[in-house]
Amino acid sequence: MSLSVLVPTHDPAPRIAAIVAPLREVADEIVIALDHRMDLDRLGAYEPLADKLLRFEHTGEDLAPGWLHRQCTGDWVLTLAGDEVPSAALVAALPELCADRELRQYWLPVRWVWPDPEHWLDELPWAPDFHNRLLRNDDHLWFEGRTHSGAWPVLPARFVEAPVYHLDGVLLSESERAEKARRYAAKRSGLTAPGGGELNERYYLPERHARLPPAAVPAEDRERLAAVAGAAADAPSGPARGPVAVGLRADFEAHRGSAALSEGDYRASIRLLERDHRMLAGETRNVFAAVRNLGAATWPWGAAQPPEIRMSYHWRGGDGEIVVHDGHRSPFPAAVGPGEECIVAIAVTAPAEGGRYELGLDVVHEHVRWFECETRVVMDIHGAGAPEPRARRRWRR
């Protein structure tokens, strides 16, 4: 199976060259994505380093990763920042890791290098620090979009011991790291580091918080860490010779499905798949229906991806009055594109008291509106403990 290495960065080209050089032997594709604020006269230096060169809009949030991964052609994508270095052990293991056809993600340990390229912080909160960085590039892959939130965990997955080294501790001064910690804390306040303390300050300022002697970087990794840490700052080298695709916020939002739906997208049809319309009072069971998307927006699978379009229901009493307005939410088991139909198991809880009620199945865009395309069916709710009526048998004589 093929591997793409994705490097979203604004770091100097000589540093990126040192990071990707050892990966050339195992990667089928190197994709370098540059912060769109970078001077165009610097792009030419990155062109020979990449099989594909991209630019992406800096939005202040992590909205770009989903779109960037879709620009990669590999079956697997390994993501590295411009201040990270893969270990020799990881590079050697990548072909075997990517050959697995069952797994969807690998979680890699990130080692925080400090105070020099020959040592790393082997204590809380810096270790253990696993991130799902080697990802199967398929429809299960999606990103929440919050700062440093990463890819949504998908199983089956494995943790591996071969690390990635994070070099902020030797590339930036203490004051630069303090400012970085302040910016990150302002974006997502209230985060606590493993072992206690404000997460960003703890991670980025080991001078103030480390208690144990740092561990030694293995000999086989020291040279490559020193090469990245000592790489020269680049100078203007001219624009790129070829076209460079640019990803903008609108592209990221469309990919995440978080763009606003139009009025015409709130259309669906619902076809109930069962003929026995009975439930016990208070019972929760699945009611199965085939739901067709009659709009132009794709509905995502699962319970977390945006736009939050799910199945739900209302209960009405014999007089037509709403008894339950907001039923359980049930996700779609697979993405439902325009014109497609999907069978959904809709978790329904019956009213607490027996009687005859009307169940209305509908699609809901969470926190926005109902689709108002209800399919209604009269349900006989039998009181708790009451015997269920049996179907009359026909005996042969």
For 288-329, the pLDDT digits (tens) are 999 999 999 999 988 878 889 999 999 999 888 999 999 999
The ranges assigned to domains in the chain are 3-256, 263-382
Average model confidence (pLDDT) across the chain: 91
Query: Residue 49: is its pLDDT beyond 90?
Result: yes
User: Is the Cβ–Cβ distance between 186 and 161 less than 8 Å?
Assistant: no
Could you tell me which residues come within 8 angstroms of residue 139 by beta carbon, excluding any fewer than 6 positions away?
A: 335
Could you tell me the two tokens for 250?
A: 């609108």
Mean pLDDT confidence for 171-190: 92
Residue type, position 24, single letter: R
Query: Residue 76: is its pLDDT beyond 90?
Result: yes
Q: Give the pLDDT of residue 396.
A: 37
User: Is the Cβ–Cβ distance between 47 and 241 less than 8 Å?
Assistant: yes
Pairing state between β 157-159 and 105-112: parallel
Phi-psi region of 170 (alpha: psi -120 to 50; beta: other; left: phi over 0): alpha
CA angle 27, 30, 34 (to 5 degrees): 155
Fold (CATH) for 263-382: Immunoglobulin-like (2.60.40)
Other beta carbons within 10 angstroms of residue 118's beta carbon come to 16
- Neighbour-count burial of 192, counting CB atoms closer than 10 A to its CB (0-12 exposed, 13-18 middle, 19+ buried): exposed
SS3 of 171, please?
Answer: helix
Distance CA 48, CA 128 (A): 35
Mean pLDDT confidence for 204-227: 96
SS3 of 15, please?
Answer: helix
- Neighbour-count burial of 150, counting CB atoms closer than 10 A to its CB (0-12 exposed, 13-18 middle, 19+ buried): middle
User: Is the Cβ–Cβ distance between 335 and 351 less than 8 Å?
Assistant: no
CA angle 132, 133, 137 (to 5 degrees): 100
What class does CATH assign to 3-256? alpha beta
Query: Residue 393: is its pLDDT beyond 50?
Result: no
